[in-house]
Amino acid sequence: MTEPVLTFTDRGIYCPAGDFHIDPWRPVDRALITHGHADHARPGHGAYLATTGALPVIRHRLGQINAEDIAYGTARTIGGARVSFHPAGHLPGSAQIRVEVGGQVWVASGDYKTTPDGLSEPFEPVRCHAFITECTFGLPVFTWPSQDSVAADINAWWADNAAQGRASLLGAYSLGKAQRLLSVLDAQQGPILTHGAVEATNAILRTQGYALPDTIPVTPDMDAKAHKGALILAPPSALTSAWARRFGPASTGFASGWMRLRGIRRRRAMDRGFVVSDHADWSGLHQAIKATGAEKIFATHGYTEIFARWLKTYGYDAEVVPTEFGGEEEAS
């Protein structure tokens, strides 16, 4: 019987042939990291390997770490395994990790979306024998509108708020979602202000060459009310804090795939919900899996049981793998 290329341990996804882990959630000697979100890139590992695009943000978040970068598509031999990183489309620099051992190819997807957003490197299907897939939104109800239509809705909401003398407070996760929204906002409508967590990421990505419009960082001594008709981009948790009250009368919005569910929109108590996610929707998950050609599918973090059952009805050898990913709801 052929030994599995990757196994699932209490520390994370492990490659015995290469003696490394992928996105481990407990400290290990060698970690290959798909992207910089905190549930995938954690502190405490002996050595890190990530894409050239992802590593600057990871260093910013984790501080002094022993890390190397690798370009997309570059193959590297680690022990008895051959590895390479391929675009996941989740956020700038995000990757799927291809691992080949003895002619068997397995791919760990990390998080991904299949629809290009104009900022992140577009998702690249990777042919493999086994595919480890997220299914954060693995239900038929989760279908995403086009990015153009969402951008038009946000810009119209912003313009209406400005005409009514209100600021527009928009909640979006500070790594990935916020920059994606910035890239589609109509910066001619008015000033765009940013929370410190968002602006720190903006600065890193600008240095890497990602195109983002000019923004105004919110500082403690700023007269926030002086920026009439502004749109303020911040992590969702900041929208209900004292930080947000400095802007005076405001309408609040939240950008997330979870806004597809009315109950979650009500619980968030936001004025507007915009359906936009950096994860694949129901059809995107199916398209990605089909494109890999894989017969063996491992479903992780999300609606795993339901999604695995659906895959089995279509002839896939599918099973659920418990992981500790998916803890950052705001990132969805």
| 178 and 131 in a common domain | no
Q: Within 13 Å, how many C-alpha atoms sit on residue 185's CB side?
A: 29
For residue range 14-69, list pLDDT tens digits in order.
Answer: 999 999 999 999 999 999 999 999 999 999 999 999 999 999 999 999 999 999 99
Task: Return the bridge partners of 77, or none.
Answer: 82
Last residue of a domain, one of 274, 302, 323: 274
Last residue of a domain, one of 226, 250, 274: 274
| 254 and 185 in a common domain | yes
Whether 41 and 50 have beta carbons less than 8 Å apart is answered as yes
Question: What does the pLDDT average to over 167-174?
Answer: 96
Task: Decide: pTM greater than 0.75.
Answer: yes
- Nearest residue to 294 via CA among 71, 131, 107, 150: 131
Phi, psi at 250, each rounded to 5° = -150, 155
Domain assignment present for 1: no
pLDDT-above-70 percentage for the chain: 96
- Nearest residue to 231 via CA among 251, 256, 257: 251
Residue 226 predicted with pLDDT over 90? no
Q: What was the pLDDT predicted at 12?
A: 96
Task: Return the bridge partners of 106, or none.
Answer: 99, 130
Q: To 5 degrees, how large is the angle CA 274–CA 277–CA 283?
A: 115
- Nearest residue to 210 via CA among 180, 235, 170, 171: 180
Q: Helices 55-62 and 196-207 sit at what angle, rounded to 10 degrees?
A: 140
Domain assignment present for 2: no
Task: Return the bridge partners of 273, or none.
Answer: 254
Domain total in the chain: 2
CATH number of residue 30's parent domain: 3.60.15.10
Q: Residue 91's domain spans which residues?
A: 7-141+278-331
| 265 and 163 in a common domain | yes
| 11 and 80 in a common domain | yes
Whether 183 and 314 have beta carbons less than 8 Å apart is answered as no
Mean confidence (pLDDT) of the chain: 94
For residue range 72-81, list pLDDT tens digits in order.
Answer: 999 999 999 9
| 270 and 283 in a common domain | no
Per residue in 251-264, is it b (16+ CB within 10 Å) or e — as a string? bbbbbbbbbbbeee
Residue 256 predicted with pLDDT over 70? yes
Domain assignment present for 259: yes
Q: To 5 degrees, how large is the angle CA 80–CA 75–CA 7?
A: 45
Q: What was the pLDDT predicted at 3?
A: 87
Q: What was the pLDDT predicted at 330?
A: 46
Last residue of a domain, one of 274, 301, 316: 274
Residue 187 predicted with pLDDT over 60? yes
Whether 193 and 218 have beta carbons less than 8 Å apart is answered as yes
Phi, psi at 13, each rounded to 5° = -75, 125
Confidence bin at 327 (pLDDT 50/70/90): low
Residue 328 predicted with pLDDT over 60? no
For the chain, what percentages of helix, strand and coil (3-state, to nearest 5) are there? 30, 25, 45
| 92 and 240 in a common domain | no
For residue range 264-312, list pLDDT tens digits in order.
Answer: 766 667 899 999 999 999 999 999 999 999 999 999 999 999 999 999 9
Q: What was the pLDDT predicted at 264?
A: 72
Give the C-alpha separation, 75 to 77, whole Å.
7
| 155 and 137 in a common domain | no
| 293 and 267 in a common domain | no
Whether 74 and 97 have beta carbons less than 8 Å apart is answered as no
Whether 177 and 331 have beta carbons less than 8 Å apart is answered as yes
Q: What was the pLDDT predicted at 1?
A: 44
- Collapsing DSSP states into helix, strand and coil, what is residue 166? coil
Residue 332 predicted with pLDDT over 80? no
| 221 and 297 in a common domain | no
| 127 and 153 in a common domain | no
- Nearest residue to 90 via CA among 39, 27, 155: 39
CATH number of residue 246's parent domain: 3.40.50.10710
- DSSP state for residue 240 in the 8-state scheme: G
- Nearest residue to 119 via CA among 198, 214, 209, 232: 209
| 120 and 39 in a common domain | yes
Residue 147 predicted with pLDDT over 50? yes
Residue 262 predicted with pLDDT over 90? no
| 190 and 74 in a common domain | no
Question: What does the pLDDT average to over 120-136?
Answer: 98
